[in-house]
Amino acid sequence: MEWLSQLGRSGLRFFERLGRGNLFLFYVLLGSFSLLGRGRLLLQQMYSVGVLSMLIITVAGLFVGMVLGLQGYNTLVDFGSEESLGVMVALSLVQELGPVMTAVLFAARAGTSLTAEIGLMKTTEQLSGMEMMAVDPLRRVIAPRFWAGFISLPLLAGIFSAVGVFGGYFVGVGLLGVDDGAFWSQIQNRVDFYDDVLNGIIKSIVFGFVAAWIALFEGYDTVPTSEGVSRATTRTVVHTSLAVLGLDFVLTALMFD
Amino acid sequence: MNTDNHNMDDVLVHVRGLSFQRGERMIFDDIDLDIMRGKVTVIMGPSGTGKTTLLKLIGGQLRPNQGTVEVDNINVHRLSRSDLFELRKRMGMLFQTGALLTDINVFDNVAFPIREHTQLPEALVRDLVLMKLEAVGLRGARELMPSELSGGMARRVALARAIALDPMMIMYDEPFTGQDPISMGVLVQLIDKLNDALGLTSVIVSHDVVEASAIADFIYVISNGKVVGKGTPEELQASDSAWVQQFINAQPDGPVPFHYPATDYLEDLLAGVNE
Ligand SMILES: Nc1ncnc2c1ncn2[C@@H]1O[C@H](COP(=O)(O)OP(=O)(O)OP(=O)(O)O)[C@@H](O)[C@H]1O
Ligand SMILES: [Mg+2]
């Protein structure tokens, strides 16, 4: 009996939080209109959320592409079709690894810092203070960060994929001797913008939305103590990663339909 | 102006039957308060009675379980979010911790509400900010970041920010704590001066009986969720209420408990041994 009521309680807590999360999102979106006249706020956040994440994304993209080149070559060479290496690398990156890896890395690099920043602002009463100055923190603080995350993630995913292809090229063509021209022409012939690239872009847009939402909500909903902030930061990474992987499956299933 | 209502018009903050609960704990139990326009009202009470909570109730950040709070004849808790924000533009609040924005410097902190709510040219903003900072004696500290300020300095910057938009009323949460005798004196004078020169209404939450009495027009003493004493400083000095005497004369023992409500001390200690 005890575990049943326990289950009911955590169920209720879950749905209550989900409700608050949705309400939060609603108000953030509502408050976003005031951003129109204040592009500078958005640009500042794009810098700290997006530009500062570029290094980790670039390096990770390069390594992932190199691994793909190596693995792909070993598999393809058995079938004598190593000229298709470029296609394999490009498709894996554009459709799957680019959006997913970028979202997970984004959660770890930018999501955590957003959560911690907002959580600490709440803990030190900066958000309360703003409210008492008649400034809505959802508009002034949260909305620019939300849009910055939402816009940055697809761009970062694009960089990840592009750099990854060069990583694959470096290993495949540079080290393993795949034909240079075949590598690129195969990509050009077989990667379709609408079927392949667009799907990847859609995925990364969805992931950007979810990653920014989770990170900011966790920060805003923090228990205002140092422990609360540290927990919220952890939850950001865990929840974003799970949500991204789950959504990736759903989206992939829908897209191949 | 309606002369029949003359008395009502003098009251800026009108609190009636206010009750507020945190979990099981009753923080306020049916209290009434009147804060007069243009006067300095001090709210005293032991630590943890809910003085900060009271200010947040007046500012509309918390909702009472029962009762009403009216500011300038407007029921704070009936307002829509945007109307509440309009009202708050006319209310300054000085947080106990200062609540400065930590990612921008002192100057930008004071400029923040001005830039958010007005379209003034930057040159004018600069002059306004420097005037406010001069008033709290920190014009020279404008380039410092909040992390480089002492607690007392941070609170003075927060004061400069609270008066940036020339509100009709300011709520000060413990403005005197952490101030050395000189800046304390300056602050007391400043609050007094602001109140008279700008026709401000001031609500001060404070433990500092001497300083607070020096500028108070009216004092409320709160304890255990009730108003246990009220009056002018002279009236309170002469009061025969044990609560008030204990607080004003800083006696550790008396009706105001030093302890947070707890079970019997001896029992509590022995509980560990008996286990
Ligand atoms: N967020 C909260 N959740 C639960 N209880 C709270 C919360 N904030 C304050 N309390 C409780 O409400 C009571 C009143 O707190 P408040 O901060 O208003 O006291 P105070 O009179 O301002 O004290 P001090 O003089 O020490 O600042 C305290 O006993 C505290 O335990
Ligand atoms: Mg307090």
Helix (H) or strand (E) holding A178: none
B116–chain A nearest CA distance, Å: 7
Query: Tens digit of pLDDT for each residue in A89-135?
Result: 999 999 999 999 999 999 999 999 999 999 999 999 999 999 999 99
State in Å, rounded, how far the first CA of chain A is from the last one: 44
C-alpha distances (whole Å) from A239 to each of A64, A112, A218, A250, B98 are: 23, 11, 10, 16, 34
Which whole number is the average pLDDT over B220-228?
87
Closest to A148 (Cα-Cα) out of A120, A110, A104, A112: A110
Closest to A142 (Cα-Cα) out of A56, A63, A34: A34
Nearest by CB: B61 against A121, A128, A135 = A128
The confidence band for B47, taking pLDDT boundaries of 50, 70 and 90, is: confident
What ranges in chain A are assigned the alpha helix state H? 2-31, 39-45, 54-78, 85-91, 98-106, 112-123, 126-132, 137, 143-169, 180-190, 198-220, 226-255
What spacing in Å lies between the alpha carbon of B180 and ligand 2's midpoint? 20
A188/A183 Cα distance (integer angstroms):
9
- For B54-91, give one letter per residue: b (16+ CB within 10 A) or e: bbbbbbbbbebeebebbbbeeebeebeeeebbebbbeb
Q: For residue B51, is pLDDT > 80?
A: yes
Query: Which of A38, A133, A138 is the best substitution to test chain B (most B C-beta atoms within 10 A)?
Result: A133
The confidence band for B1, taking pLDDT boundaries of 50, 70 and 90, is: very low
Q: Which residue of B has its CA nearest to A125?
A: B99
Angle between helices A198-220 and A143-169 (to 10 degrees): 140
Say if the ipTM goes beyond 0.85. Answer: no
Residue B156: its pLDDT value, please? Answer: 86
Residue closest via CA to ligand 1's atom 25 equals B47
A197/A191 Cα distance (integer angstroms):
8
- Per the listing, tokens 């920043």 go with A117
Q: Which two tokens stand for residue B139?
A: 């014009």
Residue A170: its pLDDT value, please? Answer: 93
The most confident of the ranges A78-92, A207-221, B174-188, B225-239 is: A207-221
CB-based contact (8 Å) between A129 and chain B? yes
Query: Tens digit of pLDDT for each residue in B53-66?
Result: 999 999 999 999 99
C-beta of residue B21 within 8 angstroms of C-beta of residue B27: yes
Residue B257: its pLDDT value, please? Answer: 64
Which whole number is the average pLDDT over B112-119?
90
Q: For residue B229, is pLDDT > 70?
A: yes
Instruction: Please state the atom number of ligand 1 nearest to the C-alpha of residue B96.
Output: 27
B60/B64 Cα distance (integer angstroms):
9
Global confidence as pTM: 0.85
C-beta of residue B254 within 8 angstroms of C-beta of residue B242: yes
Q: For residue B2, is pLDDT > 70?
A: no
Among B51, B58, B174, B222, the mutation site with the greatest number of ligand 1 atoms within 8 A of its Cβ is B51
A244/A240 Cα distance (integer angstroms):
6
Query: Which of B82, B93, B163, B169 is the best substitution to test chain A (most A C-beta atoms within 10 A)?
Result: B93
Q: For residue B256, is pLDDT > 70?
A: no
Residue B4: its pLDDT value, please? Answer: 39
